[in-house]
Amino acid sequence: MTNLPISQSVTPSALTSIKKKIKKKITRKIAGKIAGKIVKSVATKISATLLATSMTLLLLFSITAHADSSSDEPASPSVKSQIKSAQKLIYKEKYKAALKKLNEALKQDTDNADVWNLIGFASRKSGDTDAAGEAYNRALSINADHLGALEYQGELFITLGKMTDAQNNLARLAQLCPSSCEEHEDLAEAIAAAQ
């Protein structure tokens, strides 16, 4: 910008033109800053939404994987449907409703280790440790190698202060998963956190 000599006067139209140019530059800078903040805010919200969705799917997959890990007998389509419904309810922390679905599944298949494992899980999360213990024992009597039941029973043992029993379940999982598995890792983390 050049300095005008004092003797030179600025016409009103030139002054208006200069004001418009300055206003345009300021408006662009402000608009750029605001747009940057909006983009950052939207990106943060999208990231949070994606993270929440990913966590939801991971948890649902985890519950499914733990329920289905090691069942000997394939469940009937009706029992599978009730298990899936119960898993969705468990994810929403609606344990009593999940237990109702699981008890319906038991009417069709009393020897399904996955159903008993989920009954144990929902009972434990509801605070009924006695029912949880009975359910895990039943699941493991049907399938002694049920990975999910071994992990969740181990977590129940931690809750009850039975660390030796939890360690025994961890050792059993180590035998069943020599190259490690999610159930072993989760129980190991729970034991470490409790000590």
Predicted local confidence at residue 68, as pLDDT = 47
Averaged over successive runs of 10 residues, the pLDDT of the chain (195 residues) comes to: 51 63 64 61 58 51 49 72 94 96 94 97 97 98 97 98 97 94 96 94
The pTM score is: 0.65
- Chain centroid to Cα 109, Å, comes to 29
Q: Which architecture characterizes domain 47-194 according to CATH?
A: Alpha Horseshoe (1.25)
- How many DSSP H helices and E strands does the chain contain? 8, 0
User: Helices (DSSP H) in 3-73: which residue ranges?
Assistant: 12-68
Predicted local confidence at residue 186, as pLDDT = 97
Predicted local confidence at residue 9, as pLDDT = 56
Predicted local confidence at residue 15, as pLDDT = 58
Question: For the chain, what are the domain ranges?
Answer: 47-194
Torsion of Cα atoms, 131 then 134 then 138 then 139, to 10°? 60
Torsion of Cα atoms, 185 then 186 then 192 then 195, to 10°? -150
Predicted local confidence at residue 78, as pLDDT = 85
